[in-house]
Amino acid sequence: MTAVPAGPALPPAQAEGLTTVDPVRLPRSAIFADAVVIARRNLARIARTPQLLVFATIQPVMFVLLFRYVFGGAIHVPGISYVNFLIPGVIVQTVVFGATSTAVGLSQDMSNGIIDRFRSLPMSRSAVLAGRTIADLVRNVFVVLLMIVVGMAVGFRFHNGFGPAVAAVFVALLLGYALSWVFALIGLTVADPETAQLAGFLPIFPLVFASSVFVSIQSMPGWLQAFAKNQPISRAADTVRALTEGGPVATNLTWTLLWSTAILAVFIPLAVRRYRKV
């Protein structure tokens, strides 16, 4: 067999040109379009599996009925009927528990290889996380509206007008959205969806129950009151309660906005950095 002589070697500059590919630079506006696409994908998944939404609403409804008709008679809150004290707290609790689904959803996408497919596409890295949190925010809107309907069915009423009522819903959703980024980081860190669910609920349970969601902080031991009064869930619950029932709102609203802004400022960069490393 006759050997075929090799062709002349390419100059170094041409050889580098054949092996080097310039990275695709996406415009800054791409994150918004890509995030909307990812959010629509996640919302479509909820629409195709409605049991996800059903089970997400059963738990807060059970909390409303349990505390309204089982524990409510034994809980006394000065100056306000218990049902009007309870429902604003349950609204905050609902969005906080709903935020944990961000961790489960991202962990499930990682386990199924969807995240790897997203990483191979020419799309913004932040859009995957933004789309996930936006979808969970939209779902929280639906669940909060349902909680308001359930609350009104058991005796809850807005006493401060339509504008403050809308502001109350916005405050609760803002805190829920901020916490979604905390759980996005958790979902990208743990190994599987089951672990993500446990890891998400572990810090949330003490924060929810050691707060003003279900009972007055004054009924707690003195050593616990300082923590319960100043943590973000209590501040949000007190803000929503003041906006729906009436009363001083400025201090609690300011603290809620500060907590939400601080959580977003810390955990958005951490979650995006973690996503780039997985």
> What are the helix and strand counts (H, E) for the chain?
12, 0
| Spatial CA neighbour of 232 closest among 201, 266, 263, 271 | 263
| pTM listed for this prediction | 0.84
Using an 8 Å Cβ cutoff, are 242 and 248 in contact? Answer: yes
pLDDT at residue 104 in the model: 85
Instruction: Please calculate the CA angle 118-133-131 and round it to the nearest 5 degrees.
Output: 35
Query: Using one digit for the tens of pLDDT, what is the confidence trace for 245-255?
Result: 988 999 999 99
Residue 41 above 90 pLDDT?
no
Q: How confident is the model at residue 30 (pLDDT cuts 50, 70, 90)?
A: low
Mean pLDDT confidence for 65-91 = 88
Type of residue numbered 89: G
Cα separation values, 10 from 16, 160, 164, 226, Å: 9, 78, 72, 73
Going by C-alpha positions, the residue among 71, 70, 61 that lies closest to residue 94 is: 61
What are the pLDDT digits (tens) for 89-113? 999 999 998 888 888 888 888 877 7
3-state secondary structure of 2: coil
Q: Distance between CA 189 and CA 186 in Å, rounded?
A: 5
Mind listing the pLDDT tens digit for each residue in 46-72? 777 666 667 677 888 888 888 888 887
Q: Are the beta carbons of 95 and 258 closer than 8 angstroms?
A: no
Lowest pLDDT segment from 110-119, 163-172, 182-191, 208-217: 110-119
Assign 9 a pLDDT band (cuts: 50, 70, 90). low
- How large is the average pLDDT for residues 204-209? 88
Residue predicted with more confidence, 128 or 50 = 128
Taking Cα atoms as reference points, which of 175, 186, 195 lies closest to residue 271?
A: 186
Using only C-alpha atoms, the chain has a radius of gyration, in whole angstroms, of 24
% of the chain surpassing 70 pLDDT: 87
